[in-house]
Structure 1
Amino acid sequence: PIVAGWMQYYGRFYRSALYPLLMRINAYLVRWLRNKYRRFRAMRKAIAAFQRAAKRRPGMFAQWRWTSSPSLAW
């Protein structure tokens, strides 16, 4: 609900500033996935699993409505 609130409030007037933040949240999710599941320790496998999950259930997380790719620069 907090991320959805940010998207709703800040998305009205400065939507482009939210994209790096949302991709950073996705990067944190990929990092969590890599630490939790041994079979996804490799970055390539973790990103593929993340993108499959985002495609299969786009409403699972609020930020997936706008972006479903993780930022790997963080």
Structure 2
Amino acid sequence: MGAEVRSWRIHRRTRHTFAQLARFINPIVRGWIQYYGAFYRSALEPLLRRINAYLVRWIRRKYKRLAGFKKAKECFQGITQRYPGMFFHWRFARHFWCSG
């Protein structure tokens, strides 16, 4: 699953909007959570953290004024608070935003 997430190259899709990224990612992550979450939910936490880290990297690349990690992190946290259901995995692991 980690290789699959890396192959998406989320951080390089700067021509997409956040909503377009959500439409692309949500069906796949929903299936992973429904299948693997039933057996070993804690194993999904690093994967969900990685997806969020890629989303923060996407913010840093798309919006140059948010290139600093602290600013991008604050922006990401604001988005998660304003739109808590945008990404499927935020409903289950909102406190796993990213490490760094």
Is the TM-score greater than 0.5? yes
What TM-score do you get using the length of structure 2 for normalisation?
A: 0.69
Shift in Å, 1:5? 0.6
Deviation at 1:67, TM superposition (A): 2.1
User: Cα distance, 1:71 vs. partner?
Assistant: 2.5
Match of 1:41 in 2: 67
What is aligned with 1:11?
37
1:55 equivalenced with 2:91 (yes/no):
no
The correspondence for 2:98, drawn from 49, 64, 70, is 70
Q: Percent identity?
A: 60
- Structure 1 distance, partners of 2:87, 2:76, is 12
Distance across 2 between alignment mates of 1:66 and 1:47: 19
Runs of 4+ with deviation above 3 angstroms: none
Contact 1:20 1:71 in 2 (8 A): no
Partner of 2:46: 20
**AA paired with 2:99?**
S
- Consecutive unaligned residues in structure 2, runs of 5 or more: 1-26
Pick 1 or 2: higher relative contact order, CA cutoff 8 A, min separation 6. Answer: 1
Q: Secondary structure at the match of 1:59?
A: coil
Which is richer in helix? 2
Normalising to structure 1: TM-score of the pair? Answer: 0.92
CA distance, structure 1, for counterparts of residue 69 and residue 49 of structure 2: 16
Alignment length (residue pairs): 72
